Amino acid sequence: MQALNTSSFSLLPQNPKPFSLSTFSTFICRAFSKFPGDSNSDDSPDEITGRRCNYSGVKLEETVDGNTVKLRLDCWISSRIDGVSRARVQSSIRSGLVSVNGRVTDKVSHKVKGGDKVNCTIADLKPLRAEPEDIPLDIVYEDEHVLVVNKPAHMVVHPAPGNATGTLVSGILHHCSLPTCSFLGEEVLSDVEDASDDELNVSPYDSSVMCEPSVRPGIVHRLDKGTSGLLVVAKNEHSLVDLAEQFKKHTIKRVYVSITCGVPTSVSGRVDIPIGRDSNNRIRMAAIPGSPKSGKSRHAVSRYKVIKELSGGGSALVEWRLETGRTHQIRAHAKYLGIPLMGDEVYGGTKNMALSLLQPKTPPRFHGKLSQLVSRIERPCLHALTLGFRHPFTGENIQFTRLPPPDFAEILSELRAINTEKVL
């Protein structure tokens, strides 16, 4: 296998072109009311509608179980209403819609205990606005039909509760000189991260849930807030429908690279394990062995290959190729394999985990350096390296590759320098 280096990839030249704004502007600021199909082929219409329930007005009147130790109010309510986000519950509490033992509380961290009587009404979704923002974008390719962007880590793709500004959508609105757009906020996986890395649905939103235009400018797939790399944006309806169909048929080429805590038992493999919400931790997903359960888990397949062992086997550079696109798919499958992504605090790739695997594999003289290196990691070490698809209008197969950004490259370089071993 080859180590990751610049010569391993053919970088296509950038090709920014002038394009017509009128069609794109109309496209962004209207609802996706004509888009047929769904980019995820495993959802029935009933399942899609169920997941899009916005929970507005849902009531909870319940007594906390007597065996419950003191627990945060927002956490307890989230555990009692299946599917609602913690951020949404917190908004309801702050809006004065929650009472404990007959007294309204607006403190999300209020502790409840066994015997407490809780009354809660979930608040309405508040309109969010996508404001054009002058955000530097790394445009890899652009024509009048599609836009390929190299997203930096820490940037959220689209506005969501807790992440209303600084998004990729806002940058695209400014880049294309488009107006502000309003839309209703959606449920997200957590109040900390953008629930991403998955293909988006482009079939009509339920009118009872979404009554404002969607402002995702033709975004057919997403990347997690902490994930860097390539993402394609459609600039008209034809391109969106065509790209969505390619995602549905799994013909889009997506290659990711990651730095993992530990090394997988097999140097390559195919993970065919459904993914659903983790029943023990509502802010993450989990690989759930067995047949996909309606509404609980979804078919998910990832292929992986170890490119190079690092630090004597305490870590590895791993390539991933997706056959499906599910929320946090690589992160959940990596955890299932016992190799969480380095820096992924949500899925077990904590700093302590990384050091516990790295230090026993390296000479003591490197331990201080390793501690410093790991302490600087601020996001999951995951990068969307390659993106390939059939151009929606020309029919040409095009492919783009961008190497990982400096933070990823620095970690990789230092781990390689510390007693690395190449996989044969």
pLDDT band (50, 70, 90) for residue 150? very high
Instruction: List pLDDT tens digits, range 10-30.
Output: 333 334 333 344 444 444 433
| pLDDT tier for residue 235 given thresholds of 50, 70 and 90 | confident
Q: Which of 224, 242, 278, 344 is catalytic?
A: 224
For 45-99, the pLDDT digits (tens) are 233 333 345 688 899 999 999 887 788 999 899 888 887 878 789 989 999 999 9
Residue type, 370: L
Q: What does the alpha-carbon distance between residue 78 and residue 72 come to, in Å, rounded to a whole number? A: 10
The DSSP bridge pattern shows strands 117-121 and 59-63 to be: antiparallel
Known catalytic residue: 134?
no
Cα–Cα distance list, 51 to 195, 250, 297, 377 (Å)? 14, 22, 12, 34
Of the candidates 75, 76, 50, 56, which has an alpha carbon nearest to the alpha carbon of residue 64? 76
128, 164 contact by CB (below 8 A): yes
Q: Bridge-partner residues for 275, per DSSP? A: 287, 298
Closest CA to 10 of 309, 406, 398: 398
* pLDDT tens string 310-348: 999 999 999 999 999 899 999 999 999 999 999 999 999
The answer to whether the beta carbons of residues 324 and 275 sit under 8 Å apart is: no
Total H helices, total E strands in the chain: 10, 20
Q: How far is CA 210 from CA 30, 186, 221, 222, 241, in A?
A: 12, 9, 19, 20, 20
**Count of C-beta atoms within a 10 Å radius of residue 116:** 19
